[in-house]
Amino acid sequence: DTGVSQDPRHKITKRGQNVTFRCDPISEHNRLYWYRQTLGQGPEFLTYFQNEAQLEKSRLLSDRFSAERPKGSFSTLEIQRTEQGDSAMYLCASSLATSTDTQYFGPGTRLTVL
Amino acid sequence: GESVGLHLPTLSVQEGDNSIINCAYSNSASDYFIWYKQESGKGPQFIIDIRSNMDKRQGQRVTVLLNKTVKHLSLQIAATQPGDSAVYFCAETMGGGADGLTFGKGTHLIIQP
């Protein structure tokens, strides 16, 4: 499968715990995005990398959220001290920097905070 | 076919009919628009895109229309099939990646047999 992959697909955690999600983009794509999607809503943009550089992070929801892409390939999204309001689907997308920059999404990680 | 002038959260159509899903976008500076299809429990799937220098683009069974004057986007699906049942989102961006995609309100398309 040459699409975007995410791991895990589902995560259940207790309030206050830290969680980390992984995203593997389409192999030749140099841009990688993270989004959050709550029930009944469209995805909400969180952050974006071009290669290993995080070029936009002001839309991260709080300082409990952080993302890395250390080698310009896979990326991780970490949420520290999870809260029940963090329960959502976390989506990753990747694109190849061109004039259209079409983003292709992975299957998402469903987070449930108890 | 079934069409709506304003956004509706749900659109129900008969199998084989044409359907039109509408979207109002927010940023007049946006220059690239995408329609995504999202099935339950899955990530959004790319359907078709259009740049702001075009007003129509056709794909296989789908057509996207862009009206920049009123900031309106529509997705036409011809001869709808059961597999078309999903939530459809429009998305906009100014390009360059830094602002990500801004998604519109989704429309749940229901195909009746």
Report the Cα B47 to chain-centroid distance in Å: 8
Report the Cα A86 to chain-centroid distance in Å: 13
Measured between CB atoms, does A61 come within 8 Å of chain B?
Answer: no
Contact check, Cβ <8 Å, A45/B99:
yes
- What does the alpha-carbon distance between residue B58 and residue B8 come to, in Å, rounded to a whole number? 23
Q: What is the pLDDT of residues A95-111, one digit of tens each?
A: 988 767 789 999 999 99
Strands A109-113, A10-13: pairing is: parallel
Residue B97 pLDDT: 57
Measured between CB atoms, does A42 come within 8 Å of chain B?
Answer: yes
Q: What is the pLDDT of residues A36-60, one digit of tens each?
A: 999 989 999 999 999 999 988 888 8
Q: What DSSP string describes A53-94?
A: EEEE-TTSSSTTEEEE-TTSS-EEEEE-S--GGG-EEEEEEE
Closest chain A residue by Cα to residue B34: A102
Q: For an interface test with A, which of B25, B38, B39, B88 has the most A Cβ atoms less than 10 Å from its Cβ?
A: B38
Contact check, Cβ <8 Å, A107/B43:
yes
Residue A77 above 50 pLDDT?
A: yes
